[in-house]
Chain A
Amino acid sequence: MINVKLRGVQLFLPLSVLAILILINLIKGADYFSISIINGALYGNIPNILFGASELVILSIGMTLVTSSSGGQDISVGVAAAISSSVFVRILLGAGGITWLTIFVAFLASCVVGILIGAFNGTLVAIFSVQPMVATLILYTAGRSIAFLVDGRLSPVLANDLTSQIGSVIPGIPIQMPIVLTVVFVILFAVLLRTTNLKLYSQAVGINQKAARLNGINPVRIKILTYMILGVCTAVAGFIAVTKAGRHDSVNLLKYVEMDAILAVAIGGNALGGGKFSIAGSIIGAYTIEVLNRTLLRLEVDTETIKAFKAVFIIILMVIASPVVREYVAKSVKLMRARLDGAVQTQLADGTDAARVSEAAIPTEKEV
């Protein structure tokens, strides 16, 4: 019961924000939910949001896990995605022919690269106790140059039907492929959490590393493992991004996505200091960010100023969600209730001691 309640509270904020944003969109135009079929696939605002947020959703899942176990964030996810996808493109273009098999092999290779990057970051964080943000700053700084070198100082183009179908629509499937891939990924991740103790272990390590160790958990291994899983997430996100774009632009691919991924984790009600986490919250957070971006576009906010509007919105959101405000709200609700009780008592009393009665009611309420 309480668990359900707590989760409800945690998800209340992102869900209500999402609802408000959708309401704004509906006011702007009632056709917001309309979906049309073009070339045998669904298009419209909602599919566009799901399509646009694919990479962010996948990255925010990995980010949530890393935040939980290490109490810090990986700011190199966008760069890691650029590197792993550059390897994907390089292998695919060098393979001779582009078939489903070569795409699959190249994708697996890019996943291996992602895992290696994760292992590198994880080792710095877990073994050398470097602050996660500092540890990942290394790759953040150097990563796009590495991707540029892998690309052979070019911006290679994936001019073929297969990858462009993966990035958009495969004939016969009415939903855009990135959406399908995201759903598959989320399901696989849910299975992972269900069939292993990953959640319990990483939460335990994130909350109390010493106690986790005394209960037989190896904190170093768990932290590195979470970074490696995030590595897989970056490879998948990079794969989707590069197939969407049709070419590998090492400078601009998933630029600034790391900040949005961290934001998604925060909007989802997860503590950035680590410990307990909710993947569902982060996923909703990621979609919220995408909806926000598209809402601002739809409201015809100037593209140059869109970032400023976004920032204002996020400030408001974060202040509302902050423990300070939450505590204040909880207190005033309590006080209001006490006042109401007091008022009732006042009516019962003579009225001369009205003020005192209502005052006295407040501490009693607190004790309860």
Chain B
Amino acid sequence: MQCICKSFPGVRALHDVSFTLRRGEVHALMGENGAGKSTLIKVMTGVYEKDAGRILVEGEAIHFRSPQDAQDFGVGTVYQEITLCPNLTVAENMFIGRGRYAFVNWKRMKEKTARLLDSLGIPARPTQALSSCSLAVQQMIAIARAIDMDCKILILDEPTSSLDEDEVQKLFSLMRELKSRSVGIVFVTHFLDQVYEISDRITVLRNGEFIGDYDASSLPQFELVSKMMGRALDDISQLKKHEPSERDCSEPVFEAAGLSSAAGVRPFDFTIRKGEVNGFIGLLGSGRSECVRAIYAADKVIGGDVRMNGNKVKIGEPIHAMKHGIGYLPEDRKGDGIIADLSVRDNIILAVQVLNGFLKPFARKQAEAFAEEYIQRLNIKTASTSTPIKSLSGGNQQKVILARWLLTHPEYLILDEPTRGIDVGTKVEIQKLVLKLALNGVSVTFISSEVEEMLRTCSRLIVMRDRAIVGELAGENITEGDVMHAIAGGGEQL
């Protein structure tokens, strides 16, 4: 047996997860954001200690106390962000932090590096500065470093996300080479095609739970997607009773033609009507967030025409979008949404205050009234209006951001993952709120990783794959199966 096995009952991050890696295989670890992939990897590499369960290497139970421990045991990790020193040479990077002695034999170091690079077919010279190599080569050097430390298990955490097609191929040939040396490779990525190209087996996690362990050849792509997103295909919910009435006849509120942004989304057309709820759907990294960011000019807009209520307008900065009645709840609540140290009150009034103007601050009393009103309306749990927002729970922080935009009375509201990482009760509240807004004539674009939630709230789904819009689903009869097929893109277009 060459298997690692572990389970962690009782923890939310990982619940009874097992993972088996055989010698000389590439094993893809799949799951949406928050599924527990990184937690699992961190346990595997000794960054976190497991609460329960066992780790077995070659049949023997072991216990990693620190990353160093795991490394000594032959578990090497290469992260998405390269963690080497770019201004040192290749050889120095290869040996940094490994010497047991204060003195370095430079000549031997170079020779050893050259031999290693050669044997793995990595196109780099030992004396070259690391920063002068391409990202792919840097990635490979990081791998070579791990190999040289006699690793039996190599973990690659999204190694391909910053590589282009050619570089990915180079990396894959290196991975195949390692496979033949009977190194077990754990491969984390969200690119489906790559999974099928290189992996022998696939383990799927969802919400910290172990979904299954499959042979890559016997798991069709769209089945993998449905396993990652949850809900088997025959378990289609009947919850779509909130379907808003037909609004196709109403006039478009916002139209975009050929819109593209510096974040790298292909030029797209987009229309939303008054009182419509639509949504972008696709896997993580498919470009759904980039689309709405382009609409709101959160990323630099580099092309396209935009119309608001039929009139051509220019939206080059978020403030322009705000002035045209667009609100945007960003995906990254912590990084883009909350102003952590400021009070709940200041966070609620921020957008409407900015719209009101720099020279027209609200009186304290007015601000207090606004905050009180929305704390009550959205049932925000906070000690007072002066509590810093960072001390609230995630769900309540999200409600504060929602309150911020509702207070501006937008015509068009963009909600990017408003329900991520918050409890079920709040999720339902937010969904209800969206539908209520639509009934009042507000147009909403809704993005969620949960298909079921999208089906419940949106009357039209725009399907994205590889940073481009590939189709649209509309009408009463969308099923989760349709969505899965569209996202996975099993060859035929919609």
Contact = CB atoms under 8 A, between A and B. Distances in A.
Given A196-B358, A200-B361, A214 B353 contact: no
B476 to A, nearest CB: 35
Contact of B318 (A195, A204, A208, A213): A213
A207 B386 contact: no
Interface residues of A, number: 25
Interface in B316-360: 317-319, 322-323, 328, 330, 335-343, 346, 350-351, 353-355, 357-360
A216 B319 contact: yes
Nearest to A201: B358
B384 interface: yes
B339 A208 contact: yes
B456 to A, nearest CB: 27
A2 B389 CA distance: 13
Contacts of B323: 216
B298 interface: yes
Nearest to A203: B342
B194 interface: no
A231 interface: no
Given A2-B384, A2-B387, A195-B361, A216 B341 contact: no
By DSSP majority rule, is chain A's interface helix, strand, loop, or mixed? helix
A275 interface: yes
Interface in B231-246: none
Contacts of A195: 359, 361
A215 to B, nearest CB: 5
Given A196-B358, A214-B328, A1 B384 contact: yes
Interface in A198-228: 198, 200-201, 203-204, 207-208, 210-218
B353 A207 contact: no
Contacts of A364: none
A217 B339 contact: no
Interface string A71-109: 000000000000000000000000000000000000000
A275 B343 CA distance: 12
Contacts of B353: 197, 200
A276 B386 CA distance: 13
A203 B339 contact: yes
Nearest to B363: A194
Interface string A258-283: 00000000000000000110000000
Interface in B119-144: none
A160 interface: no
B345 to A, nearest CB: 9
B350 A204 contact: yes
B408 to A, nearest CB: 10
A211 B338 contact: yes
B337 A211 contact: yes
A3 interface: yes
A217 B354 contact: yes
A214 B361 contact: no
Contact of B342 (A207, A210, A214, A216): A207
Contacts of A196: 358-359, 361
A194 B346 CA distance: 15
B388 to A, nearest CB: 9
A251 B203 CA distance: 71
A208 B354 contact: no
A275 B338 contact: no
Contacts of A203: 339, 341-342, 346
Nearest to A212: B339
26 contacts: A3-B386, A195-B359, A195-B361, A197-B358, A197-B361, A200-B346, A201-B358, A203-B339, A203-B346, A207-B339, A210-B335, A210-B336, A212-B339, A213-B317, A214-B296, A215-B322, A215-B350, A215-B351, A215-B354, A215-B404, A216-B317, A216-B319, A216-B354, A218-B317, A218-B319, A275-B341
Given A213-B318, A215-B404, 12 more contacts: A2-B384, A3-B343, A197-B360, A200-B346, A200-B350, A200-B353, A203-B339, A204-B339, A204-B350, A208-B340, A211-B336, A214-B318
Interface of A: 1-3, 194-198, 200-201, 203-204, 207-208, 210-218, 275-276
Sorted from nearest, which 3 A-B pairs have the closest CB atoms? A216-B319, A3-B386, A216-B354
